[in-house]
A and B are shown apart, each in its own frame.
Chain A
Amino acid sequence: MIKVINVNVRNIYLGMLTVILASFMLVACSTSSSNEISEKNEREKDSLVLAIGSEPTDGFDPTTGWGRYGSPLFQSTLLTLDRHFNVQYDLAVAYEVSPDGLDWTVQIRDDVKFSDGESLTIDDVIFTFETAKNSHSVVDLHNLKKMEKLDSYTVKFTLEKPQSTFLYILTMLGIVPEHAYSEKYNENPIGSGPYKLVQWDKGQQLIVEENPYYYGKKSPFKKLTFLFLSEYSAFLAAKAGQVDIVAVPPHLAKEDISGMKLLALDSVDNRGIMLPFVKPTFDSVKGVEIGHEVTSDVAIRKALNVFINREQLVEDVLEGFGTPAFSVADKLPWWNEETVFEDGNLEEAEKILIDGGWSKNADGIFEKDGVEASFTLVYPANDQTRQSLAIAFKQMVKQIGIDVKTEGKSRSEIEEIMHTTPVLMGWGSHDPIEMYHLYHSEYRGQGYSNANYYENVKVDQYMEQAITATTQEEANQFWKKAQWDGETGFSALGDAPWVWLVNLQHVYFINENLNIGEQKIQPHGHGWPITEFISDWTWEE
């Protein structure tokens, strides 16, 4: 007996040794193994390896914000926005808004199951919204007064105040199962989306498989592996032929990867400069210094907007992988096209400054009442694109006689000074409420929202009307008016509290044989949004 056990133990050691040796061999001839992997992919064509970064540190719980950029992948939402931002049904089969905009009645499908086989009922929907409301996370549901279960597939949401943007919450909030929800849900999501989680090695990889119970159109790819690599390792992995989709920063986009094609997706992932709107003073309510002497002058803000050559910034800094930005929501349905103007205009900008009472001093810098047109532009130190933009901006505006210094700071340092100093920020959401947060006086000094203390009564009014509108068309009309109504607005034509610079393009290399079809204008955040239309992806050799 003892002898047998001994032999077994020896066998185990032998086995372990073999495994270790084999793994050495694998490392040693990694090129050949990668070829094997890609050959396998071509043969089966039902699995993909993606290195698109953006590992969600908070996990995959929609009630705390997962899935608000792009699709939640594991869960599904009541409604969705199609490629042209028209509302489509997903879990819902019908929805209705009462004329006063307070009651939203939503009826859902009766044939939906979670990936564990349990049915999805209206209780799960109510549970999801309740959990999200109580989580006090980025999912803003404070306006949701109560929910009523009308029958097992119908719910009535009642709002405190009419809110047209409630619709966008319905398109972003993935439904979680009441029976399988716990503290640990974010690491072990169960949902009704196209995929289910198989394995998540934090910081390394995420493996997902097709959800057999998914009710929507099935993707031809049954298994996806997301690798969480740094930008550069991801790029090298792509060069070695180990991944099918890789996200790359603009400066790597000029490279060639054999067997892969370049894909540049337009986005509203914008970058712009927040300019403090008020004169230097002290906000005694919040207890912070606010305002900036120079940027509180509308002539300066307008001259900067008119003078900056956005096309050139795109060329110089983004290597051409971007588009000029004129607002926070370029090309979205609530964007006012009239706010686009011809930029890079020196004469016009100088005229604005001179009309505004500024004149050039001996150093060639504009001056007014002894104050030089000069400010410090702060950017997050760890973001190289923003650094480059800041430096390019500084050099550009020097030509007109405005003196800008640039400084990189950490996020916490930026939070301390952002009410008194221009900061290079990035926004871009598929929900127009973002404009409300950025430009409504109610949000003055609320964290990063309206950090410049912008205030315009007319703009506030328009945005409130947009919020209380009962149809999307009506709401969008008011959103547009808030930007520019012909006389005033928060765009560069009006008060110009921001200088919007560029919209990034999200750049990917994808396998030549992979076709991912047309994409939506991508929101802020590189990575997950690309998976939104995965059911339409095809593999063609």
Chain B
Amino acid sequence: MKSTFQMDSQNTIHRKRLLLKIIGLLFFFFIFVLSGFLIGEEQIEANLSEKNLSPSLVHLFGTDWLGRDMFMRTLKGLNLSFQVGLLASSISAVLALTLSLLASKSRLLDYIVTILIDLFLSIPHLVALILIAFVLGGGIKGIVVGIALTHWPTLTRVLRAEIMQIKSAEYVQLSKKLGKSRMWIVKHHFIPHLIPQLFVGFVLLFPHAILHESAITFLGFGLSPEQPAIGIILSESMKYLSTGMWWLVLFPGISLIAMVAIFDALGNNLRKFINRE
């Protein structure tokens, strides 16, 4: 009796700590990403009288060769990355859910979906991304569609396995025997069970999406160069490294890593939190 009680209390403490972590991470995330919404065009305008300044209190991250404040530009860039990531991961998650449900319908469909998963997993993300973004003519649209179309397979695989497991569960079999329709089973048994997985998967997709967005804009397949995307900031800054303007690369780079790390931690903690239930 005692030991179970202890375990229970340990469990609650653990869960409380996890919750605290999650809230803390969410707080960081809000500061980081949502502040970008408050930054207007004026704050990231070029100001040629203040170019190439090293970091100071006025310009935390310094300014670039056009006198743009790098701190504001970085925040704006993270914000843009966030939006692209959000949109792309949502599409990816929806795709994954649809495909995994499709796969549960019949053997043939399952076979097709599995092949599709293998096919997409066999091409390196970046290559597929570049191809798709290029075909769609670049821009936000190209990037979002590219990321969405390349990031669904892993999540689909997880969801598909999950459904296969539920499918053989007794209560699902029972519902079937009772003559419930397929839609009813999907709606009342599958989806509620899949939601936590889907959510965690979605959050874990995020860092990937953001990193790939940066990678593709870094390579120049994405956005117009005056847009403050992190990848663009980094690729421009590379050119100024040899003249000793290290701050152009360092701070935006660290910020990107920090954001990705926060998301990753958020996702992992969420998974732990949900899996305990």
Contact = CB atoms under 8 A, between A and B. Distances in A.
A18 B224 CA distance: 50
Given A251-B240, A391-B66, A409 B224 contact: yes
B46 interface: yes
A311 to B, nearest CB: 13
Contacts of B239: 231-232, 384
A384 B138 contact: no
B46 A392 contact: yes
A410 B242 contact: no
Given A406-B226, A407-B224, A235 B46 contact: no
Given A252-B243, A382-B220, A410-B138, A387 B48 contact: no
Nearest to A317: B48
Contacts of A392: 46, 48, 66
Contacts of B138: 410
B226 A387 contact: yes
B137 interface: yes
Given A255-B243, A316-B48, A384 B236 contact: yes
Contacts of A236: 242
A407 B138 CA distance: 13
A408 B236 contact: no
B8 interface: no
A395 B240 CA distance: 23
B240 to A, nearest CB: 7
B248 to A, nearest CB: 12
Contacts of A381: 220, 224-225
Interface string A381-423: 1101001100110010000000000111110010000000000
A410 B225 CA distance: 11
A236 B243 CA distance: 10
B65 interface: yes
A231 B48 CA distance: 23
Contacts of A407: 224, 226
B118 interface: no
Contacts of B236: 384
Contacts of B137: 413
A251 B239 CA distance: 10
Interface residues of A, number: 23
A387 B240 contact: no
Contact of A251 (B45, B46, B226, B243): B243
A332 to B, nearest CB: 30
Interface string B217-240: 000100011100000000010011
B46 A395 contact: yes
A406 B242 CA distance: 28
A408 B236 CA distance: 14
A85 B225 CA distance: 39
Interface majority SS on A: helix, strand, loop or mixed?
Answer: helix
Contact of A235 (B66, B224, B242): B242
Contact of B225 (A235, A387, A395): A387
A381 B229 CA distance: 14
Given A316-B48, A384-B236, A391-B66, A408 B242 contact: no
Contacts of A255: 243
Nearest to A413: B137
Contacts of A252: 242-243
A408 B48 contact: no
A407 B223 CA distance: 10
A251 B66 contact: no
A407 B224 CA distance: 6
B46 A391 contact: yes
Contact of B224 (A231, A251, A408): A408
B243 A388 contact: no
A232 B220 contact: no
A163 B53 CA distance: 54
Nearest to B138: A410
Nearest to B245: A251
Interface in A249-273: 251-252, 255
Interface string B101-140: 0000000000000000000000000000000000001100
Contact of A388 (B65, B224, B240, B241): B65
Contacts of A232: 239, 241-242
Contacts of A409: 224
A392 B66 CA distance: 8
6 contacts: A232-B239, A236-B242, A382-B220, A406-B226, A407-B224, A408-B226
Given A251-B240, A388-B65, 9 more contacts: A232-B242, A251-B65, A316-B51, A381-B224, A382-B220, A384-B225, A391-B66, A392-B46, A395-B48
Interface of A: 231-232, 235-236, 251-252, 255, 316-317, 381-382, 384, 387-388, 391-392, 395, 406-410, 413
Interface of B: 45-46, 48, 51, 65-66, 137-138, 220, 224-226, 236, 239-243
5 closest cross-chain pairs (CB), A and B: A316-B48, A408-B224, A408-B225, A391-B46, A232-B242
